[in-house]
Structure 1
C-alpha cells in the first residue's frame, strides 16, 4: 500500500473506510443476528458488507504502520497501534458468526424437511458469536478512534490549555 495518496498520508484517508464500514456492519449484524425475519431477508447482503469491512481493516493497519515510521515515536501512537491490532480478530469473530448464521439459514430454507436437529443450536451459537464480535468491534473502533485523535491532537490541546 502506498504511504501517500494525492500527496497526503494514506492512513487518515483509508481509515475512514473502517470508521464507516465497521460500525455499519456492527449495526447490520446485530439486526440480522437478533431478528430472524431480517436474517432471512438480508443476511447475504449484510455478510457482503461485513466482508468488505473486515477486508478494509488490514488496509488501515498497513497504512498506519507506514505512517508510524514517519512520525515521532510516542506512547500515544504506540497505544493507538496496539488497539488497532486487536480489531481484526474481533471483526473476524463477527464475520464468522454472521457467515455461519447465513449458511445455516440458507441450508434450512433449501431443505426444510431435512433440516438437521443441530441447526437450531448452531444458529444460537452463531448468533452469540456474531453479537459478541459485533459489540466488541464497535467498542474497539471507538477506542481506536479516540486513541488516534488523542495521538494527533494531544499537543494542540496541551498548547491551548497554556493560553
Structure 2
C-alpha cells in the first residue's frame, strides 16, 4: 500500500510528521473558510487538494505503523497507540467531505460565481454559504470535524510518544565520559 522503509528508517516515524502538520492545517483552513466564506476564493482549488492529500496521508501512515508494530516487541503502549491510530481515518474523512462540500457549495452558487468573476468580494459573500441556516450548519460541521480530527491527532501522537520513549531516557543528565 505504501512505503514501509524510507532511507533505511521505518516510514511510519517519518510519515507521522506529514499527518501531524496536514491535519491541523486542513482543519484550520476549513474553519477559516466556514467562518469567512469569501476566503474560499483565495484558496480556490487548493482547499480540496489539501484535504485530499491529508486524507491520503493517514492510511499511508497507519499502514507503515502496522508494519512497524509487527517489527517491534509486543508492548501494551504500542498496541494502544495502534488502536488509537485506527480512529483517525473517520475524522479525516469527515474533514475531507466537509471541506469538499464547502468548496463545492461555493462553486455551485450562481451569485457567488458571478461576483467572483467580476471581482466583487461583497457579492461573493452573498452566495449560498452566506445564508444563515447554511452558514451555521457549515460552521458547526467544520468545527466538529476539525476539533475531532485535531484532538485525535494529539491523542494518537501522545500515545505514540509514550510508546516510543517510556523507559528510554533519564530524568537526570547522563554523563557520556
For this structure pair, what is the TM-score category when the shorter chain's length is used for normalisation? 0.7 to 0.9
Whichever of the two has the greater Rg, that structure is 2
| 1-structure distance, mates of 2:84, 2:101 | 27
| 2-structure distance, mates of 1:19, 1:117 | 33
| 1-structure distance, mates of 2:144, 2:84 | 18
Pair 1:149 & 2:164 matched: no
SS state at 1:57 partner: helix
| 1-structure distance, mates of 2:92, 2:139 | 14
Return the offset for 1:40: 3.4
The answer to whether the 8 Å contact 1:93/1:130 transfers is no
Question: For 1:22-37, what aligned pairs fall within 5 Å after superposition?
Answer: 22-37=23-38
Match of 2:55 in 1: 54
Return the offset for 1:39: 2.5
Cα gap change, 1:83 to 1:5, in 2 (>3 Å)? same
Match of 1:100 in 2: 101
SS state at 1:41 partner: helix
Cα gap change, 1:134 to 1:94, in 2 (>3 Å)? same
SS state at 1:156 partner: coil
Return the offset for 1:128: 2.1
| 2-structure distance, mates of 1:12, 1:126 | 34
Pair 1:130 & 2:142 matched: yes
The answer to whether the 8 Å contact 1:104/1:123 transfers is no
| 2-structure distance, mates of 1:89, 1:129 | 14
Return the offset for 1:129: 1.8
Could you list the runs of 5+ residues in structure 2 that have no partner in the other structure?
A: 116-126
SS state at 1:36 partner: coil
| 1-structure distance, mates of 2:74, 2:24 | 29
The answer to whether the 8 Å contact 2:106/2:128 transfers is no
The answer to whether the 8 Å contact 1:97/1:127 transfers is no
